[in-house]
Amino acid sequence: MDGKYDGLARHYASYGVINMSDISALSYLKVFIDAHCQLGDLVDAVVPFMGESITDGTLATFLKKPGDRVEADEPIAQIETDKVTMDVASTEAGIIEKFVASEGGIVTPGVKVAIIYKSAAQSKTHTQSSEDTSQKHSTTPPSTKENKVEDKPPKVPMPRLRKCIANRLKDSQNTFAMLTTFNEVDMTNLTKLCSDYKDQFVEKHGVKLGLMSCFVKVAVSALQNQPIVNAVIDGDDIIYREYIDISVAVGTSKGLVVPVIRDIDAMNFADIEKGINNLAKKATEGALSINDMVGGTFTISNGGVYGSLISTPIINSPQSSILGMHSIVQRLVVVNGSVLARPMMYLALMYDHRLIDGREAVLFLHRIKDVVEDPRRLLLDI
């Protein structure tokens, strides 16, 4: 039968409505579909708008197959772009007649992906016969050494997001004059602050108080103290941005993404925690939008959640610097002439030395150290 009608034919055949070998029944179905096509009962599922900075994407996978029933707004395919993974959804409830695009192909906004027969009846649950089931689940005898073919290393196409990350990191390395300055910070007072007020914070704001929101607030203070770190090179000019949008690195199964929390200098701790939690949830679910990803004037990456003791993070272009947090480890330090065990963290600031001098970078990182070790400075703005 013509591929145009295969999906619906298989759908009806699975419920015993028609026999795939019955030529007359198939011919009737063809006439029936053509008639409904003229009545406008076939609708297209198309690639949605991807954002101003994205022109195309890769059709990563189909979530359904021809003959499957779908509901309105139900995803039927996923598109990978350079920044996010997005769904192609059915605009109407119905049955998928056929796909008109291929997995792995490049698609653009508005391109047709599937044809949906919107007037089809609701699907009914059915079960396979024991004979069919046994045939489907029959297993192949385990291979022996005599017939075993030499194994080859697995080779799969690189996901589009991974390729984009690779290209951006290499571009960053080739463009910036990157230099890193380090410092270590005593986390005693900040961790005590979070521990002392964690219950009251949750009770009032409905969200936990974590170290990330504290570091974000401290970074805002340091950026205001050293505005050159928040600036960016634009050709032969320097743009001093009067707003602070911080990108927070989030690890997902598909790679690292850096969604942006905007106008963060106007937020309190609770707003920041809610913003971080919301973006982290969307990143995990693959639901980040283009607007969640674009922009950002400064990035914070916390490798400490994976146990990293020290590292040199790479600048997130087109920003000019990135702060790397690391794991908190008990170390012996000298405090007022006494050797004590304290929870210590190494901090790393990677910066573009074309724009930011060593003096400003060191002062920026020292400002973070001062405020983390004595959080009262935030309250008094000193």
Question: Under a CB-based contact definition with an 8 Å cutoff, are residues 47 and 110 in contact?
Answer: yes
Q: CA–CA separation, 266 vs 229, rounded Å?
A: 19
Question: Under a CB-based contact definition with an 8 Å cutoff, are residues 264 and 241 in contact?
Answer: no
Cis before residue 343, ω within 30 degrees of 0? no
Q: CA–CA separation, 58 vs 99, rounded Å?
A: 15
Joined together, the tokens standing for residue 381 give: 């703005």
**Cα-flanking dihedrals φ and ψ of residue 75, to 5°?**
-65, 140
In our burial notation (b when 16+ CB lie closer than 10 A, e otherwise), range 51-75 reads beebeebbbbebebebbbbbeeeee
CA distances for 359 relative to 176, 281, 314, 356, 366, angstroms = 18, 38, 20, 8, 10
Q: CA–CA separation, 128 vs 117, rounded Å?
A: 25
**Cα-flanking dihedrals φ and ψ of residue 47, to 5°?**
-70, 130
Q: What angle do CA 65, 68, 69 make, to 5 degrees?
A: 145
* HEC-encoded secondary structure of 4-29: HHHHHHHHHHHCCCCCCCCHHHHHHH
Look at residues 259, 256, 257, 227 and name the one whose alpha carbon lies nearest to residue 244.
227
Catalytic residue positions? 353, 357
Joined together, the tokens standing for residue 27 give: 């011919």
